[in-house]
Each structure stands twice: as C-alpha cells, then as structure tokens.
Structure 1
Amino acid sequence: MSAESTPEPGIPGPGTKAMSHRKPRGRGRRALLVTAWTAAGILVLGGTGVGYLYFKLNGNLRTVDINQALGGDRPAKVDNGSENILVLGSDTRSGANKKLGGGTDDGSARSDTAMIIHVYQGHKKASVVSIPRDTLIDRPSCKDAKGVTHSAATGVMFNSAYSTGGATCAVKTVESMTGIRMDHYLEVDFSGFQKLVDELGGVDVTTTKAIDDRESHLDLKAGTHTLDGAQALGLVRTRHGVGDGSDLGRIQLQQAFVKALIDQIKQVGVFTSPKKLYDLADTATKTITADSDLGSVNSLIDFANGLKSIDSKNMRMVTMPVEYDPSNPNRVIVAKAKAKQVWKALENDQPIPASATKGTATGQAEGVVTSS
C-alpha cells in the first residue's frame, strides 16, 4: 500500500485485503442486542476494506468452541435454511462490570438474560423466545470449555447452567429443554452494552407509565425519552419498577427495548460515517463472545449480512410459556404442553402459534415501553 493510500487511524482504507486472526474465548454480557448492533457496527466492513484495522477488530473477538466441548450428543442440525442462535447475557461481577453488576469483584457470573433467536428460511423474518432466568428446570450433565464435567441437577434455576459450566453448559441445557440444536452462540457484557448505546447517540423509547427503580438507578416519567447507555442498562435490568416485579416483567421491557434499538439503528448515520462505523465495530468486537464458527470478523459480517433485512416489524418476540410455581411465587416452571408448541414451530421453521402463549404468566409489564 502506498503512503497516499494508507488509512488514517479509525478510518478504513479502500481495497485492503482481509486477514484472519482469532483470540481465545472470554465472557461477556447483553447479547440480546446483537442482531441490531452487529448489523450496524460490523456489516458494512465487508465492503470497505479495513487492512490493519480488520486485523485489530479480529483480535478483539473472544470465542468459545461449543462444538468441541459438547461433541456429538446434541440435536441434529436441521437443513431447511433457518438458524437458531442462543443469545446470552451474563451477570458478570468482575472488572469493568463490577460497578454495573453490583456485588463483589469475585469473577462470578450468572445468565441474566437468555433469548433464542430463530431466523426463518430466507432471512426476512425472525422469532425471539426469551427464557426466564428464574425458571426451574432439570439441568443435564455437561462439560465446560475446559473439559470439566458437571453433574446433572433437578429442579434448579435456569441461570445456574451458565454459573455452573459457562456457555457450553448453557447451550447444552437449552438444547435439552427444546430438542433444538443451537447453530450459534453470542454474548455481550454490561459495560460494552452501555458504551454501544452511547456511541449510537442513545435510543428513543416511550414509557406509558412512570418507572422508578432505585435498584437499577432508573427514574423515568411517562413520556418520550432518549435513553443514554446508563439509562438503557437500567431499563433492561429493572424488575421492581414495573408490572408485578418479576423477571417476566423485565423480559417484556427487554423485548420492547430491542425493537426500539433496531428501529434506532436504521435512523442513525453509521453507514455514512467511517469513523462512527469503526468506533461501533471496535466496541462491538471487544464486547462480544461468540462460538468459534462466528469467531472472526469475516464470519460476523456474513452472519450480520443475513440479518440485515429483518426489522422490528418482522420480528415476533415471546416469552417461553411458563406458570408461577405454586410453592414459590418467585420462581416459574415450564408450561410443558404450550412450550412444546413453540419448539415444534421453530423446529419446522413455522410461526409460533398464538395458542402457545395464551394464558401463560406474563409479568404484567406489557406496553409500558414502546418505540418512539
């Protein structure tokens, strides 16, 4: 490359050949938003040529080899053009996340948010199924990424899968619950989520009711707001300021925020500003943990390219059918017959029937937050 064509730091140069590099796995949080910011922050890098910047972004990525850890004891891949992605948020208590997550800097982590994204054949539509972290489930025996085997357990909370065996145990547990193979795994951390929202210039939402939750440091009056990163993080974490104070109510807020974020990305100028694009991509790749099949910028570009046609209007978001546990109102149990309808629909690449979620526990926070 000539001196005249050398890109300035932060601005991709034209015609630069991509290189490949991977970095070992790590942990992160808040990947529930990956369908939105990956498309905005990484997608167009495929057409810009990024040279050493590409190498730098590739080096930011952290990966975990789900396939090797779990081996052949998994549901079979379904070759119908659809994809299933487990998007996990871990409540990590270390490093930059200590202040955001609360508690001590002990390095512990729990799966705070879990969503299965099913991308339908043709990649024009998607369904998202949130799994409440307080769901009591039977956790299968599983190996973590280091090869350590963890014994099966009965009647434990869903988020114990991640805290016990990390990403691989979480994937194993979801596949055991659903009978569906997870094609990919994605994760984002607390601090990265907050920074990404700030770099996007905030996200516009409308609250139909006031939200005041001291634990999540969120105080919003009813009306339209442009949330910065700290406020957005407070919104997707709040559970005491809306509905019945359950995790189910928080899930409804998270789902509404994801839709608002997707709409927001379509309005900001990341595609016309190379500097803004690079900043987003740099933050995103530092924040994300992916399965090894997605563990390069090239792979993420291809993945995001397949999602770019999906907007919030073509994304149905539901919560896994559950009922309140009669013996403990702070826990929920799977409504097995209705949940089976959901998993069968996804397995067959069909829409989730309305009957699958009718009459199940909701958390009473629906409609509190909408896109502006």
Structure 2
Amino acid sequence: MTSDDEPGSQQPDGPSGPARRSRRAGRTSQSYDFRARFGDPESTERREGLREPVRRERRVPGRDRLTVRELMEQMGVENQPTPPQSAPPQSPPSPSAPAQSPPPPRPGPPPGQRPPAPGPRAQRPPEQPPADVTQALPPVADTPPPVDLSEAATAERAQRESRGQVPSPPPLPARGPAEPTAEPAVPAGDSAAGQAPEGPAEAGEPEAAAAAPRRPRRPLEPTPDLTDAFKRARAKRRRQSRTARTPGKGRKAAVRSTGRVLVALACVLTLVGTGYMWNLKRGWNGSWNNVAAVDGNDPNIRDKNAQYGDETYLIVGTDSRSGKNAKLGGGDTTTIEGIRADTILLVNIPADRSRVVAVSWPRDLQVDRPECQDWDPETGDYGTDLPAATGVKINSVYAEGGPTCLVKTLTQMSGLNINHFIAMDFEGFEKVVNEIGGVNVCSTVPLYDYELGYILRKAGTKKLTGRRALNYVRARNISAEGNGDYGRIKRQQLFMSSLLRSTLSSDVLSNPNKLNKIVKTFITYSTVDRVDTDSLIQLADSMQGVEAGRVTFLTIPTSGTTEDGENNEIPRTDDIDAIFDAIIDDKPLPGEKKETSPEKSGESSTAEAPATSAAKAPASTGKTEATAQYPTNVSVRVLNGSGESGVATAVMNTLISSGFNVPGVADASNKRSDTVVRYGAGEKDSAATLAAMFPGARIQEDRTVKAGVEIILGSDFAGTSSISSPPDPGSTVSVGQLPKVDNSSDLPNDLSVTNAGDTTCT
C-alpha cells in the first residue's frame, strides 16, 4: 500500500486521528523533532523525506483521543466561542478510500526547557477569520455500539429503513450574510461531493444531529412488501414448468390465455364506447331550452292509476315567422303575428312498451279553452290571467296561452296524463331532416299547392330534404287531395312513418357521430318541458324490439265545420272519448299489427296489418227483408275501404244526385274486400234501401254508428257505373244480413289510421 504523501504525490493526506509517539520519543540526543525537520505544521509546502508510517504508527480508533481544545491549540486557532454543532453519524471507512496518515505530533518546548505554566490567555478583539480556517468542529460522538455486518442483517436493515422512509422536510430559509454557517468537517475519504450521507439519525445520537440542516431532496416512496408476490411468482413458474413437461397442456394454456386477452379487449372496447357515449350525453345535458308546460296534478286526468308508467308526449310544430322562419315561405311577422300550433301530436307509450299510439289534432278543431295565463313567446314568461273561452280554434290556444294552456286543453279533452312537452319551428324541422339525410315519400299523383308551388312534380317515390320536406308536411291547399287539413295530416303521418322506418333500419342509431349531430340540432331548435337526455335514452332502451308495425297514427274525428264563418272543425266528442278510453285501457286499435303467440317461433313476429290488407268477408247469416225508404230521409257517410284513392268522393256525388243526404266522406279504419252498410238502432230499413243499390252489399248492425248509416266500400266495388237507382219507397227489399258487430270498444268505423309499417304508396 502506497501513501499519497510520498515524493511525487499531488496532495498530502490530511489528519486522520491523534498523533502517536514513537519508541524514541524519550531520547534527547537523537529525538524525532517534527518541527525541526518539516518546519511549521500550517505550511502546505511540499517537502522531501516524508515516509509512510508503519503499521504500529497508524491511527487506532478510540486510543489517545484529543479534545477539541487541544486540537485547536495544535492548529493555532484561538479559543473563540462557537455555536454548538452536532457530529454527523460516523460510518465505516470505505475500502476504496486512500490510507490516511496520522496528524503531526503536538509541538513541544525546545530541548532542555520546561513547558511554560498554563495561564490565562490574552483576549484578542474579534476579527474576521481567514477563509481557510475552520470556525468550529462538531463534538466527537461516543463510540457507536458494534453493528452486525452480516449479509442477512444488512439486507433486513436496508429493507426496514427503505420502508420507513418519510418525505424530506422543506428547505430551510436562506441565511443572511451576517450569519456564518458552520459546516461539519468531512473526511477526505467520503463521497466525491464531499458531503456526509443523509438519512435518519441512528439511535443514541443527539437530537441536534437529527435536526441538522440538510439539502432538500425529492421524497422517496416506501418500498412495497413484495414477499407474497414473490411466492406467487415462484409457484406460477413451477406450475408452468410442470405444464411444459405435460403433452397438450401447454397448448390449452395458450388458448385460455388468448381467450382471456380477447375478453379483456372486448371489455376495453365496450368501456371506450360507453365512455364516448357518456361524453356525448354529458355534452347534451344542460343544453335544453326549457319552458313551463306540464301539470301532473290536473284534475282532468282520467284514471291516473291506470296510466302509471305510461309516457305521454305532446309534440307541437309551430308556425313562427320570426327570424329565419320568414325565409321559408308562407309569410313573415308583418302578415302572421305570434306563434301558433301548426301541428299537434299527442303520443302515448304504455308502461309495457308494447306499442306507440300517436293522435293528430286538426289545427282548426273547435275547442273550449280553460282559464289560463297570457304567454310571451319571446321570453317564455306567463303574465296576467286569461279567461276561459268556448268555440275557439285549438291553434290559437297555443298562441295566447302558450304550452301550459294547450296542455290543459288537451288534458280535459283526452284525459291523458301528459308528462312531456316538445315544440319545434320550421327551421328546426328542416335542419333535423337534413342531419338525418332525407326521408323517402311516395304519392300516386303529382302534388301542387297554390301557395307553396310544386311539392312533387311527378308521382312515385322521392327522397325529400330541407325545404322540400318542410313543404310536404305543411302544404294545406293541394287540389288533388281536396280535403284541406286532413290531407296534410295524412301526409305528416306518412312522413313520420317513413322517418321512423329509415331511422330504425339505417345506421343512425349505430353511428355516434351522426346521432350526436341529430341530437344537438334537435336540442338547439326545440323547446321542452320534462325532457332530458337521460329520459330519452331510458325510453329508447325500454322500446328495443318495437317494430314500426306497432306504431299507429290516428286522427281526431270531426263531423263537418261550423257555419259561423270561422269554419271550425266540429269534434265528435263521443268518438274522441272512445279513442282515449281504448288508449288508457290498452285495448286494440284499428290498423295495429297484432303480435303472434311465442309458440309460433318459425313464423313472423307480427301478423299482417289490417290497414294494409283487405279483411276477409264474414259469413252471411242469410237474407233479411226490409221496407224501402225515401232517399231524402236517409243520411249516409261514405267510407273508403278499398284502398283506391278518390272512390269515396265519386260515390258521394252519385248518391247526392239520387237525393241522399251525404254529410261527408272519409277513409275506413280497416280495409275490406267486401262492401257493407252498417247501421245503428232503428236504421235497418235505411241500410237495406242503400244496400239494394250496390251489387253484393250486405247490412250489419253496429252500435258505434250513432246517426244514419255508413257504407264501407270494399275492394269488390266495381265503380259508380255499377250503382243502380234507389228502390221505390215503401217496397220490400231483400238483402244479405251479417252478424252484429262485436266491438269491445266504441271506436268508430271511420277513423283515419296510418300504420308506420305500411309501405303502400298512397
């Protein structure tokens, strides 16, 4: 081992311990005078003749220690008061550190002289010490107890200390220039940075040592206990080694592992999709335009317990001409003021979600308005009281009393518990249709409106978007239809049926981006009450599997118009009550597709819709005789059950020319293959008189016919040329008789019905 203090070394070793006297220290003739040979100890000048101390002269820990005062006297430092310092914890010397030479011996008096007697030192005025003079030295700690340095003890101690680590304290505030800092002396054999190792204070050290300032460091996290994990890993490796030695098991294990990976991937994709929809839903919520409309405590709600779980929506299409709506045709705010209900649709979904029934209300229907409040459509606020009124148009109820008043009016007429409200104007309808991508419609004739122009220039199927789709559902003056608002209602029902079919069969529901655009557009241009994203999603989930054939559109029946110049449509209150009684009681409705029993799994899930195919002619009970009546005493309603357009109107004109009273025509609730004349109490002779004019026609008693008789033209009708002249009054006529109609409800025969699953071009 070579000392760094030999000739040619770059730096002398520093003091590493107390001086040890040699064996010749007591001799006077040839004593080992350190000062005479090496000069002043403070000098750093390199001198020749330095030697490496022998083993016996090296430092032995704990032997002949010097006090701090003696060490300071040897170094020529004055005894100045210094703040107490704590000694850093001692650590065993590193094996890689160079050997340390012992410090020079304490200088003594010249030979032959006695050391001077100790006396009080002269006090010097305080002065700034030089930069290379140590100001204070920490006290030397007591000898630490012996430490077990075996491999097992060291590993256990390192693991325990690692788990017990705590975050470092925050950095100490910077000291001012007037506060000298006392750094503990660090031996040269320590770390390259020249700093004492940091860590928790060992047991037995003074508290001051633990509180000594330390450089801030990033907190260390405790090392987790991985003992159990190591045991499981070793056991798994043993199992895998046994499996590898067994033929076939390794392949099965790989298959199981692959299956788990695929399942995990499916779960991740499901979570990603769910998260995407959740983000969409979160964006939709809070964006709705709300208005007060619904009143769940209305006393006019009929049998509220029977409607528990039902969802009833009032959907209103408004004819506002404000803003961009004026550019869509039909006038502006200078010609049409306010906002009226142009389309009114009451949609009921029963609690079992087995069907959907939508009832259309004519915009000119005459109603009695209850007491309401004035409504400001610009702000959506309600103001002063609005007194009740009778005989007003239903579209004016919305214009004057707003959504709340319209809900009250329809509740007292229908008895339904209306719990949702939606309103949308022309512009919103156009934009929603554009986002959907258009809707296919079909007509057997071209459609022309004298206010809006051509709706369809050619007969057949056409996809409509934007403005053309809007004109299709709002046109009221199409000469080819000849029935005003009822033709418009029929087109609206056909349009919504096609829209429903295309939505269910296309990629709208499975395309999140497209669905997001549609919903956002709908929210932007609609006004709602008790409608939010969660309720709509729950409703859509509960209606999974409902086919378009289970969606039925009905129209409120009327009995002509008033003669007071207002031309209001007169409602048939008894038939309206029968319609909503059937809806509340979940009774079958005309035109619905019937569900087949689950046992017929090999057949279609739905039966053929009565509205799309002719019903079979019932068996006749034989002939019956009656007395012919005067045509002027017979009131006849003509219903078209043949499916051919214009037949009822042609028959009406023929009967009027023969003297019959014809109050109106309509489509039959169900299509038929035969022609039948139905009658009520006391009208058998009138029915036989009319049936005698139509070849093959039979009569049938029906309690739903309240006045006069009704003729339902079937597909066997051969045209007006086959109609004969009326029989002579008072004569006896013989016609076929059908059994009495067995109706479980009082639904009339002339309900205008549209089934959403009907693809017939009409």
Q: Which runs of 5+ in 2 are unaligned?
A: 1-268, 376-380, 591-668, 670-703, 705-746, 753-758
Task: Please tell me whether residue 75 in structure 1 is matched to residue 305 in structure 2.
Answer: no
3-state secondary structure, aligned to 2:314: strand
Aligned counterparts of 1:130 and 1:272: Cα–Cα separation in 2: 30
Task: Please tell me whether residue 336 in structure 1 is matched to residue 566 in structure 2.
Answer: no
1:282-297 map, 5 Å: 282-291=520-529, 293-294=530-531, 296-297=532-533
1:349-364 map, 5 Å: 349-352=586-589, 356-359=747-750
Aligned counterparts of 2:572 and 2:299: Cα–Cα separation in 1: 25
Q: Which runs of 5+ in 1 are unaligned?
A: 1-12, 17-44, 363-368
Runs of 4+ off more than 4 Å: 13-16, 70-74, 369-372
Which protein, 1 or 2, shows the higher relative CO under an 8 Å CA cutoff with sep ≥ 6? 1
TM-score normalised by the chain length of structure 2: 0.39
Aligned counterparts of 1:208 and 1:308: Cα–Cα separation in 2: 33
> Which of the residues 526, 547, 553 maps onto 1:317?
553
Q: Is the 8 A contact 1:218 1:231 kept in 2?
A: no
Distance 1:72 1:238, change over 3 A: closer
> Which of the residues 331, 336, 348 maps onto 1:103?
331
3-state secondary structure, aligned to 1:194: helix
- Which is worse superposed, 211-220 or 314-323? 211-220
Which residue does the alignment assign to 2:441? 205
Q: CA offset at residue 71 of structure 1?
A: 5.7
Task: Please tell me whether residue 173 in structure 1 is matched to residue 409 in structure 2.
Answer: yes
Distance 1:73 1:245, change over 3 A: same
Give the AA of the match of 1:62.
Answer: N
Q: CA offset at residue 90 of structure 1?
A: 1.2
Aligned counterparts of 2:298 and 2:358: Cα–Cα separation in 1: 26
Distance 1:161 1:329, change over 3 A: closer
Which residue does the alignment assign to 1:29? none
Which residue does the alignment assign to 1:36? none
Name the % identity. 33
Higher helix share: 1
Aligned counterparts of 1:105 and 1:56: Cα–Cα separation in 2: 34
1:1-372 map, 5 Å: 48-51=276-279, 53-67=280-294, 72-75=298-301, 77-78=304-305, 79-100=307-328, 102-105=330-333, 108-143=338-373, 146=382, 148-220=384-456, 221-241=458-478, 242-291=480-529, 293-294=530-531, 296-327=532-563, 330-352=567-589, 356-359=747-750, 370=760
Q: Is the 8 A contact 1:46 1:301 kept in 2?
A: no
Distance 1:329 1:71, change over 3 A: closer
Give the AA of the match of 2:527.
Answer: T
Which residue does the alignment assign to 1:22? none
- Which is worse superposed, 72-81 or 196-205? 72-81
Distance 1:137 1:357, change over 3 A: same
Q: CA offset at residue 110 of structure 1?
A: 0.4
Give the AA of the match of 2:347.
Answer: I
3-state secondary structure, aligned to 1:98: helix
Residues 208-231 of structure 1, C-alpha deviations (whole Å, 9 max, x = no match):
111112423443111111111211
Aligned counterparts of 2:566 and 2:588: Cα–Cα separation in 1: 31
Q: Is the 8 A contact 1:180 1:347 kept in 2?
A: yes
Q: CA offset at residue 100 of structure 1?
A: 2.2
Q: Is the 8 A contact 1:82 1:349 kept in 2?
A: no
Give the AA of the match of 1:281.
Answer: V
Give the AA of the match of 1:358.
Answer: N
Higher strand share: 1
Q: Is the 8 A contact 1:195 1:283 kept in 2?
A: yes
Q: CA offset at residue 91 of structure 1?
A: 1.0
Q: CA offset at residue 264 of structure 1?
A: 1.0
3-state secondary structure, aligned to 1:49: helix
Aligned counterparts of 1:148 and 1:309: Cα–Cα separation in 2: 47
